[in-house]
């Protein structure tokens, strides 16, 4: 279901650098290639270490 939502969102936004494969999404960025697991939301730079993403509450921005 998440993959289908992501595919449709990318189509509507005309994002051609995003590839969705089952549980994983691969993004071709300007600095590197990124991978995001759709189940755990774990992001990583492909063929490298994990990418740390920290959520910040809107009141703390």
Band of pLDDT at residue 50, cut at 50, 70 and 90? confident
Instruction: Tell me which residue of 9, 7, 42 sits closest to 21, measured CA to CA.
Output: 7
Q: What are phi and psi of 56, to 5 degrees?
A: -120, 125
Domain boundaries, the chain: 2-60
Q: What is the pLDDT of residues 22-43, one digit of tens each?
A: 899 999 999 889 999 998 888 8
pLDDT recorded at residue 19: 95
pLDDT recorded at residue 41: 83
Q: What is the pLDDT of residues 8-19, one digit of tens each?
A: 999 999 999 999
């Amino acid at each position: 279901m998440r993959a289908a939502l992501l595919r449709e969102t990318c189509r509507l936004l005309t994002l051609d650098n995003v590839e969705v494969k089952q549980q994983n999404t691969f993004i071709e960025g300007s600095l590197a290639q990124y991978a995001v697991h759709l189940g755990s939301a774990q992001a990583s730079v492909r063929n490298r270490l994990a990418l740390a993403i920290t959520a910040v509450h809107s009141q703390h921005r």
